[in-house]
Structure 1
């Protein structure tokens, strides 16, 4: 058969799959949803030739339909409703630090007077940073690394935040594995195991006692302390140090893995994986329980606590204001640091959760409400903790000052000692440690989801379909890496990371975020972005905070942190004194992570011919997802699209 000329369109038999609709010169090929805009072609192209055939150009513009564009874009997912997002943010922001760190920080910094700098810190740092990250995530629809398309020069901040998050996840799950250990240990028909001294710990009846030994003394034997130059501990402390931790002699003496803690760590990682296995589809359902149930347990513990002897003494100590402490700058620094521990900015979790929002969701209202809930939880947790401390003070006949503690000490030594003295100690112990697990899981969801999204969003077309496998691999890798924290010396690493490492990098991340959006991207542009989402720009209050107040206060906290690290106070844990260089070691670890920021910046500059002006401008990837999807529909040129056989006579 003789070949037809390429520029002629031959008549073919009717094919229902290749139907054409003709309207205003637009030919639509239904078989592949390609829209051929023939109205844009020069009229001369369709001039009749001698054979009265219709000629077409060799190339023509092809536009993809909305449905085809939508199918070509990977689906990140979206919250089922607004309540899921709100509960997820509440759960992420409110954790163990609100319940067990804030009360002690409040007590040692002036009691009720501490609430003044704390609420100021919430208004000047906590709420503005939360609103900034929620608005940023909702507008960009990206994770903590790819969201830095707003200013590529500082994309290392996203890598830095993810690195810090990964390290904190390691030790955060270790804290929860301690709770798992205690929770299952409380399932006994007899006394809880921390109600009496452990066999491996010397007691007042032990004959072979050396200077510096720790002697376990049960409450009924408090009057029989006959040894000098030794330290006395409660049965709860003995249980934690000798049975749970098997604590080594000091830093760098790791010893062997505590296999029961390793099993508890594996358990908590399996639970974490199952809760995030399908991203926000599962997390959004789990938070209905994990974000609300801790309040129910806290209320039960408070009701039980205030009925104990001496409870009012503890609460009075908690609330009694000492306004003279407000002249101490360290009190103000502690207030601002506590905000970063209890609100969660800088980790990437807030940004990631907001990236799954509807574009017009009112995140400003959520930022205000979550700030209020966080403040209430911290304040309310103080009543729960100090009612128990008052009971212990009454039981042991000791002043509150000798009993009050923070963090791990109050959660696994002080509180268990009080629970052991209550009737039905098994029940109270079980729900208490179950509450700690729930509080930790909520924060874990946000941090882990931020890491997963940071990976998947970098190459969504290739990696999104493997998100389940990536989540499983990351969880298993974290479990293996976390085993060093369940060795006999693991608690020393947990103490260093908790006290020094995390806060330094966190402050640098938040400071850079404020500077970038205030001065490089520009608060005017950011205000317009927020107005596009909410229908109104942010108030002058938020703009003032982002541009001046918040960055200056973060610098103040950093300065205070460095001043404290150079102090002469010795750091110890259960009689094991840390080396003098420990504070600087922790800050150095944080500084090494922060070095990622200039390193990535230099690489970006080198790859772009050192054009820094270009790198402080948003890329074409910056903006909401629907806007980027619409840009995909720009015309593309293809070689003669009419190679698909069809009839166009009726369309001309």
Structure 2
């Protein structure tokens, strides 16, 4: 391809300082709120210890292969999701890339709010402000949740920390990839591991902790015959690794051209799973203590999501010895896990608009980020904010990300048949080679399993609704959010590029020159 004369050449792309910086950032993205509050509950509800079997099968057959797919796209085609997909699969690919960007737009608006909640509860932990009624305090005094599904009554106690959270994360983003994003992860990730490890060690010393661990790890092998358990395992791996919605693709685009992909991919995947297991131990040891205190089965206090973090866990903390310390460690961990993941979500958005419209980083961060902050405030800092968050979170994750994964595989691997080239790229720059098995997993097994998940979710939402919310509300804020993603993807794809997206030569060259290919074949055969 030749450089277009109608558009200026793109500036040199930002880069990580090295492989360690990239690994820290990628792990920081993968290790997020879902590791702490989603995995333990999903495992408990789907066979306990037996769930680890489909979990690790999903990791090996979908998680790592799709992670390397994202790495290969970003690293080979050196761009944000829309740019990398455009260079891979033309305008159809670019539309997929923009759809991924829009998923991150919606996630960023509510993820910042959860980080702000956690920061507030970190402060509340010093005097256990929620008192004896943690649930009542969260939905009543703190969020002031209204019965109406939509209001414009703002809650100052939520509004102020949300504004602070946006300012902090945008300041980090504005300083760049190496100076801002990388340094933030290098600081926050070790602090997260140390604080959460201290929390787990403390939880294991509590009375009833063993019963909690028994509930978590006791295998129910009969559950393995249930297809829904396997779907849950693939879903957990899929969501927790930050794959298929542009994050790992964008992060890998900041790596130097001669960079190992497969080795760091394994490190990130297994570090993420290790933290999930650690979270499971910590959470269920704590739930076991609470069940012991209340004289009830562990199953009656287990849970996932916002309820576990902001209602169940504060109630447990109030009963613990050294209550303030446990609260500080737990909510401090959520703040750090949420912040590192939020940074990666926003980087997908900022990188895309910088590539498409030629904006500087500061223009993208403060201009686009300012708009997202305003939307976040209007939607989620009112008395109906929790309802909006719950609804948009469900549709963005369970419909948006899953649909994005299927679309990316179909467009790149089936329609444009770029699988051999991507496998070649990973093999050329990595410590181990990938080939037909990897292509089979990404192009066949992944889309089939994920597509089945998508169909099941859609059928359930259409037939049963969601959360007991009115149909008009889920149509407007749930399906409406997905519709906005699709329309915006089409509009942004139709807009002209500031710089020519095609004026680019991938490295290493594909197909390789005959002499090079022969040399590689001889080397691979041992001659």
TM-score interval w.r.t. the shorter chain?
0.7 to 0.9
Secondary structure at the counterpart of residue 166 of structure 1: helix
Q: Which residue of 1 aligns with 2:177?
A: 280
Is 2:14 the counterpart of 1:87? no
Per the alignment, residue 195 of structure 1 pairs with 131
The answer as to 2:88 corresponding to 1:150 is yes
The match for 1:126 is 63
Matched, 1:470 2:409: no
Match among 502, 506, 510 for residue 405 of structure 2: 510
Partner of 1:544: 440
2:298 corresponds to which residue? 400
Query: What is the correspondence of 1:245-284 to structure 2 with a 5 Å cutoff?
Result: 245-252=143-150, 254-281=151-178, 282-284=180-182
Give deviations 1:401-459, integer Å, cap 9, x for gaps: 22111010111111111111223322321222111110011111111111111011124
Tell me the CA shift for residue 300 of structure 1: 0.8
- Give the one of 386, 391, 410 matched to 1:491: 386
Within-5 A mapping of 1:285-304: 285-304=183-202
Q: TM-score, normalised by structure 2?
A: 0.88
Partner residue of 1:108?
Answer: 45
Q: How far 1:567 moved relative to its partner?
A: 4.8
Greater fraction helix:
2
Spell out, residue by residue over 1:360-399, the C-alpha distance to the aligned partner (whole angstroms, 9 max, x if none): 2111111122111111111111110011111111112222
Matches of 2:406 and 2:263 in 1, distance apart? Answer: 23
Aligned match of 1:432 in 321, 325, 330? 330
Is 1:564 aligned with 2:460?
yes
Give the distance between the partners of 2:503 and 2:431, measured in 1 at CA. Answer: 23
C-alpha distance 508-303 of structure 1, shift in aligned 2 (>3 A):
same
Question: Relative to structure 1, is the Cα distance of residues 535 and 116 closer, same or farther in structure 2, using a 3 angstrom cutoff?
Answer: closer
Matched, 1:409 2:307: yes
Indicate how the Cα distance of structure 1 residues 459 and 478 shifts in structure 2: closer, same or farther if over 3 A, else same.
Answer: closer
Whole-Å separation in 2 of the counterparts to 1:571 and 1:591: 15
After superposition, residues 186-225 of structure 1 pair within 5 angstroms as 186-188=125-127, 192-196=128-132
Structure 1 CA distance, aligned partners of 2:427 and 2:140? Answer: 58
How many Å apart are 1:290 and its aligned residue? 1.6
Q: Is the 8 A contact 1:112 1:319 kept in 2?
A: yes
Task: Give the 3-state SS of the residue equivalent to 2:118 in structure 1.
Answer: helix
Structure 2 residue 502 is the aligned partner of structure 1 residue 620: yes
Displacement of 1:564 after TM fit? Answer: 2.3
**Which residue number in structure 1 is paired with residue 272 of structure 2?**
374
Matched position secondary structure for 1:360: coil
| Distance apart, 1:187 and its partner CA | 3.2
1:589 CA displacement: 3.2
Post-superposition shift, 1:566?
4.2
Displacement of 1:536: 6.9
Contact 1:89 1:353 survives alignment (8 Å): yes
Deviates further, 508-517 or 142-151: 508-517
RMSD: 2.6
Contact kept in structure 2, 1:500 and 1:583, CA below 8 Å? no
Separation of aligned partners in 2, 1:581 and 1:501: 18
Corresponding residue number in structure 2 for 1:139: 76
Q: What is the match of residue 33 of structure 2?
A: 96
Q: Are 2:195 and 1:313 aligned?
A: no
Partner Cα distance (2:392, 2:322) in 1:
36
Cα offset, 1:584, TM superposition: 6.1
Name the CA shift for 1:598/1:467 in 2 (closer, same or farther; >3 Å): closer
Alignment counterpart, residue 333 of structure 1, candidates 208, 231, 239: 231
- Gaps of at least 5 residues in structure 1 are 1-63, 65-70, 197-234, 608-617, 628-652
More strand by share: 1
Q: What corresponds to 2:142 in structure 1?
A: 244
Q: Deviations over 1:201-235 (max 9, x none)?
A: xxxxxxxxxxxxxxxxxxxxxxxxxxxxxxxxxx1
- What pairs up with 1:594-613 in 2 under 5 angstroms? 595-596=486-487, 599=490
CA displacement 1:92-133 (0-9 Å, x = unmatched): 111010111010011011111111221122122211111011
Shift of 1:533: 3.3
| Paired residues, number | 495
Cα deviation, residue 593, structure 1: 4.2
1:240 touches 1:413 (CA, 8 Å); kept in 2?
yes
State the Cα distance separating 1:621 from its structure 2 match: 3.4
How many angstroms apart in 2 are the aligned matches of 1:506 and 1:593? 14
Change over 3 Å in CA distance of 1:589–1:126 after alignment to 2: farther
**Structure 1: how far apart are the matches of 2:472 and 2:63?**
31
Choose from 577, 592, 608 the match for 2:483: 592
Partner of residue 520, structure 2: none
Structure 2 contact 420–435 (Cα < 8 Å) conserved? no
1:313 deviates by: 0.8
- What is the aligned partner in structure 2 of residue 210 from structure 1? none
Bigger Rg, which one:
1
5+ long unaligned stretches in structure 2:
510-527
Task: Say if 1:518 and 1:138 are closer, same or farther in 2 by CA, change over 3 A.
Answer: same
